[in-house]
Amino acid sequence: MDHNDHVNLLKPAKLPPGGSWADLGAGSGAFTLALRELVGPTADIHAVDKDRSSLRELEQAYKARFGDSSRLQLLPADFTRPLDRSTPSAAQRLVLLDGIVMANSLHFFKDKGKMLRHVRSFLKPGGVLLLVEYNVDSGNPWVPYPLSFESFRDLAPRAGFSAPRLLGTAPSRFLCGFYSAAAQKLEH
């Protein structure tokens, strides 16, 4: 997949410009760049990943594509742990977000419900979760716990999200292809 494919997977969500967003498990930023293209230059984007070298690659790609990276915050952190809003270090802090992208990061967690409830805590009421995953439920050593759209449709409401909306699909050489979906944080 290339940049246009990444954009096209997220584009049907019809994201409003601006806001505060995070890409959890951003890696070198393929979907961070797609997100920035869709939400525009006034959005604050937090790229969260444990791998500092991937975040440096992301920063270089972001600057090359968009010029100014002042609204991109690189967070070298483990998003599975609390990113405490009261911590003075910006590298370990998130504000409540308008939206989150999780592209090929949820499939590393066996207990997806627990992880989705954790991720939900970072969102404002009505905030959106954009999920990109392999559309299959059995994995391999590199993608241990994939989650098909049908399984996500069952899981999302139990984790405090609306029923997800399928945004798009894309072929893959591995594991039956990708899907993208959007679900909103519900208030309980």
**pLDDT given for residue 165 in this prediction:** 98
**pLDDT given for residue 36 in this prediction:** 98
Length of the chain: 188
**Homologous superfamily of the 3-184 domain (CATH):** Vaccinia Virus protein VP39 (3.40.50.150)
- This model's pTM is above 0.85: yes
**pLDDT given for residue 90 in this prediction:** 47
Strands of 97-103's sheet in order across: 72-76, 44-49, 20-24, 97-103, 123-134, 178-184, 165-170
In this predicted model, what pLDDT tens digit does every residue of 86-141 receive, in sequence order? 444 544 456 799 999 999 998 887 889 899 999 999 999 999 999 999 888 877 78
Q: How far is CA 175 from CA 50, 110, 124, 138, in A?
A: 25, 17, 33, 9
| Three-state helix/strand/coil letters over 63-125 | HHHHCCCCCEEEEECCCCCCCCCCCCCHHHCCCCEEEEEEECCHHHCCCHHHHHHHHHCCEEE
What pairs with residue 20 in β-bridges?
44
User: Which one, of 173, 116, 129, 179, lies nearest residue 150 by Cα?
Assistant: 179
Task: State which residues of the chain have pLDDT below 50.
Answer: 85-88, 90-92
**pLDDT given for residue 92 in this prediction:** 46
